Amino acid sequence: MELKKDSNAVSIDMLLIVHSEKRRAAQGTHSDRQADLGALPQRRGGLQGIGNGIRRWQKFEGSDVHGSLTEKEHPQQTQVITSYNNQGTQLTVEVHPQDAMPQLLKKFSLAKRLQGDKNGNTRPRQPGAKDAHAYPWDRSSLKSMPLDLRQFEKLDTYASQVTVKNGLDELVSDLLQEAHSDLERVRVIWIWICHHIEYDIEAAQEKDRQAFKPTDILRTQKTNCDGYAGLFEKMCRTAGVQCMTVPGYSKGFGYQTGQSFSGEFDHAWNAVYLEGRWHLVDSTWGSGLVDSTTSKFTFLYNEFYFLTHPALFIEDHFPDNKNWQLLKPPQSLKQFESNMYHKSEFYNKGMLSAHPETSVIKTVNGKATVTIESCAPTLFMFMLNGKQEQGLLSLRKNGMKLDIYPPTVGTHKLQIFAKGNSDIYSSVLEYTLKCNYVDISVRLPAELHQPVGPSWFSEQMGIVNPSHPDPIIHTSDGRCSVSFGVEEGISVLASLHGDEGPITEETQRRYIFQVQRQKRAELKVQLPQAGKFALKIFVKKRLEPGNYVFVFNYLLCCTNTKVNWPMFPESFGNWGQDNELLEPLSGVLPANRNIPFKLKLHGIAKALVKGQDTWPLTLNREGYWEGSCSTAGCHEIYVMVLENANHNFYSYILKYKVNAQ
């Protein structure tokens, strides 16, 4: 039968009226037409296990379809039975006392409150063409509808502070006090669940997962994904918003890159109907995460899974019914398994795309390359088999490029992390790297940290206009000179690191001699032998306390096996940044020789060279201090300066060693 109250009313597909036993006995001849309430579950036995283990049949009792979940107290209360089949079709049966007919008609006239469609139907419709979004992602938004998250700031704060008092109905009522639209109703329910319900790991790992009743979830404030989805659906329906639970496969806790999916579904989430269209949410993953090493849950709110764009949601959620992908065209399970999995932080931190687009990549001639495009400058780092080694990561204004060189043949795990606007690096991508060839000539220094080469970040730290914009510098004779502009108030420090040879922590800066000319720094580098070296650059604001901060490094490469340069002379604290050494540059001088000296020194009164004897330096017209000394009988030679002509105290600024005779 069909009942209509007004133009906004819903249509009732079936009205089942059940009389009490006394009434039934009195009617006699009509008893064969009455429904047997107790026989209903048996006649529809499929209600006991619908949803492939994700959704189990439950019977809720309350005053109406949005009533309390408290136990039945009066025999005349309404009973509601709701179930879904594998295609997401909903069947709801309500059993009312006969004398409730006036209230029944009044209830079904509130169709707008129940989000009825234009035909007045409260039954959630199946998703159709109007719900579908284009695949692949068009980069327009992370959300499936236009949202300004700033508008939710006060609402989110309010919802997160609401507490459970006397049950689900009152909780929803309290949450809706500040919600004035269906979007806001969904938002407060989402925020409350994400901030109050803990993921029950033990329950999730049970082979025969039991259904979680909303009353039990509110009492323990713990549940598994089925419970999250069921609670979210119940609260939305209580708030008058159409909502469905969607079972399916997921790339969540325990997922291994490239794995296949079969058998029972392992996850459940929700679809909500807002502004004439279905949208997707996952309150389980919005609430926090599970540590893979400790198997402990931590509350960590994740905005990404609220009204997620379907073209992004499909990366880690595959529903049992393809219509709930909300995509055109929909993806197959095989595509879901093979497609690259971008973690939620990939998008949260402003990433747009990555290449390769498959989770398993193979090296070519011992090398693999990964590139990421981002919407803003972002810091990245990587790990190959848990170590930051065997890779060259260079930053770009809108992304990064990583060249990786696996050290052995076989399968490797490559993880990529991004920093974004926070102070924490988060995992955004994970690849399985298969290597069938190793180029033994490519062995990167263990101290080669990331990033390599100058970038927007080095400019931000005060290093500009570098002489070498590329991250790799090749030198045939083992020497090179690198220069760059330095902003006012910035001090620069450099060190050289290699895996072989005499370089130690004490001498790693002695193969670099720094020259400061006005606002530009020059680093003169001499390599102790052939090989690959990391030239690391650090900066520090002069007037601020603290240590130097690493900015970037160059990779220096030399194949000339005849290279064997000595260290530069040792400099002391009084060697000013604006000073310049022209000769001698070698820190080790030959014995029994006359050695010329030429330096540019600022703000001094006198300069001299001291060995067995003392040789003064004179200031020429070009502003250089010049002179010479003999190394005969010397083990060490010092350059000393007098800063104040009225004093007699000389300071050491340079130290040379003399070869044994």
Q: Is 267 a catalytic residue?
A: yes
| Contact assessment for residue 314 and residue 325, using Cβ atoms and an 8 Å cutoff | yes
| Averaged pLDDT for residues 528-556 | 93
Q: Which of 66, 96, 131, 225 is catalytic?
A: 225
| Residue-level pLDDT at 644 | 85
SS3 assignment, position 344: helix
Residue 392 has pLDDT above 70, yes or no: yes
Which residues, 6+ apart, have CB-to-CB distance to 468 below 8 Å?
Answer: 454, 482, 554
| Averaged pLDDT for residues 557-582 | 87
| Residue-level pLDDT at 208 | 63
pLDDT digits (tens, 9 = 90+) for 235-288: 999 999 999 999 999 998 888 888 899 999 999 999 999 999 999 999 999 999
| Residue-level pLDDT at 450 | 93
pLDDT digits (tens, 9 = 90+) for 8-22: 444 444 555 444 443
Residue 300, φ and ψ in degrees, nearest 5: -155, 95
Residue 233 has pLDDT above 70, yes or no: yes
CA-angle at 616, arms to 610 and 621, nearest 5°: 140
Q: Would you state the structure tokens that stand for residue 36, as one six-digit string?
A: 């047997």
| Contact assessment for residue 50 and residue 84, using Cβ atoms and an 8 Å cutoff | yes
Strand bridging mode 651-658 / 588-589:
parallel
Residue 190 has pLDDT above 80, yes or no: yes
| Averaged pLDDT for residues 213-233 | 93
| Residue-level pLDDT at 63 | 33
Q: Is 342 a catalytic residue?
A: no
pLDDT digits (tens, 9 = 90+) for 193-203: 999 999 988 87
Residue 46 has pLDDT above 70, yes or no: no
Burial string for 553-587 (b: 16+ CB within 10 Å, else e) reads bbbbebeeeebebbbbbbbeebbbeebbbeebebb
Residue 311 has pLDDT above 90, yes or no: yes
Q: Which of 66, 133, 267, 279 is catalytic?
A: 267
SS3 assignment, position 495: strand
| Averaged pLDDT for residues 315-321 | 96
pLDDT digits (tens, 9 = 90+) for 579-595: 888 899 999 999 999 99
Residue 409 has pLDDT above 70, yes or no: yes
Residue 45 has pLDDT above 50, yes or no: no
Q: Which of 266, 282, 316, 403 is catalytic?
A: 282
Three-state SS across 125-147?
Answer: CCCCHHHCEECCCCCCCCECCCC
Confidence band (pLDDT; 50, 70, 90) for 47?
very low
Q: Is 355 a catalytic residue?
A: no
Residue 113 has pLDDT above 50, yes or no: no
| Averaged pLDDT for residues 217-236 | 94
| Residue-level pLDDT at 21 | 40
| Residue-level pLDDT at 589 | 94
- Flag the least confident range among 43-57, 112-126, 446-460, 470-484: 43-57
pLDDT digits (tens, 9 = 90+) for 94-107: 565 555 544 443 33
Confidence band (pLDDT; 50, 70, 90) for 661?
low
Mean pLDDT: which of 38-52, 112-126, 267-281 is highest? 267-281
| Residue-level pLDDT at 337 | 92
Average predicted confidence (pLDDT) for the chain: 82
What span, in angstroms and rounded, lies between the C-alpha atoms of 447 and 538? 14
- Domains annotated on the chain, with CATH: 149-330 (3.10.620.30), 346-442 (2.60.40.10), 456-558 (2.60.40.10), 570-658 (2.60.40.10)
| Residue-level pLDDT at 209 | 60
| Residue-level pLDDT at 5 | 38
| Residue-level pLDDT at 501 | 60
| Residue-level pLDDT at 293 | 80
